[in-house]
């Protein structure tokens, strides 16, 4: 976003995360005044823990879309990002797999190519290949079944 000249506000809320509670990270892109996202205002939601979907689904706008890391059949776009990341040898890469998957649906403010370029630039050398591979795995999964 910054590379595109867009304003960004990021925020994290740790709701008893140390005791197994949810953590929500928000990213607002554009000319916003504050970091909070109210009920029904989120355009996109990326959910790493499927149990958190129900907790935060109220934030999604009626026209919004969620992308969820789950192997279970659900009515919204989903991918088993944890399994794919584990198969590539790094379960911690599930966040990048999920991001790649979401980018493949063309609902974010940026494109896959833009994120791939930025990830290539900012990733530490020892993680660069793995980061790009995880992003690509998610993106490729989003394209299966598309014409």
CA gap 112, 75 in Å, rounded: 24
Q: Is the pLDDT of residue 93 over 60?
A: yes
DSSP for 10-40, written as a single string: EEEEESSGGGT--EEEEEEESS-S-S---TT
Report the CATH number at residue 43.
Answer: 3.40.920.10
User: 60 with 66: CB under 8 angstroms?
Assistant: yes
Question: Where is pLDDT greater, at 138 or 5?
Answer: 138
Please tell me the total count of domains within the chain. 1
- What is the share, in percent, of the chain residues with pLDDT greater than 70? 90
CA gap 63, 65 in Å, rounded: 7
pTM: 0.87
CA gap 87, 98 in Å, rounded: 14
Q: According to the model, what pLDDT value does residue 15 have?
A: 59
pLDDT in tens, 97-113: 999 999 999 999 999 99
Other Cβ atoms within 10 Å of 94 Cβ, number: 22
Instruction: State mean pLDDT over 127-140.
Output: 96
Q: According to the model, what pLDDT value does residue 51 have?
A: 85
Own/partner contacts of 110-118, CB < 8 Å, gap of 24 or more, are 110/1, 110/4, 112/139, 114/3, 114/4, 118/3
Strands 60-69 and 42-47: parallel
Q: Is the pLDDT of residue 16 over 60?
A: no
Residue closest to 141 by CA, chosen among 112, 117, 118, 119: 112
Q: According to the model, what pLDDT value does residue 40 have?
A: 95
List helix spans (H) across the chain. 50-56, 81-87, 94-103, 112-122, 125-143
Provide the domain limits for residue 65.
2-143
């Amino acid at each position: 976003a910054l590379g595109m000249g867009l304003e960004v506000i990021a925020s994290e809320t740790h709701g008893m995360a140390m005791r197994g509670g949810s953590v929500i990270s928000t990213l607002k892109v554009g000319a916003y005044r504050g970091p909070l996202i109210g009920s029904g205002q989120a355009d996109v939601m990326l959910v790493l823990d499927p149990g958190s979907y129900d907790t935060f689904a109220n934030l999604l706008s009626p026209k919004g879309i969620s992308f969820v890391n789950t192997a279970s059949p659900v009515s919204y776009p989903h991918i088993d990002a944890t399994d794919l990341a584990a198969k590539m040898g790094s379960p911690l890469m599930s966040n990048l797999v999920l991001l790649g998957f979401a980018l493949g649906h063309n609902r974010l403010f940026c494109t896959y190519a833009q994120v791939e370029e930025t990830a290539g630039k900012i990733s530490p050398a020892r993680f660069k290949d793995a980061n790009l591979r995880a992003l690509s795995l998610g993106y490729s999964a989003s394209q299966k079944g598309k014409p």
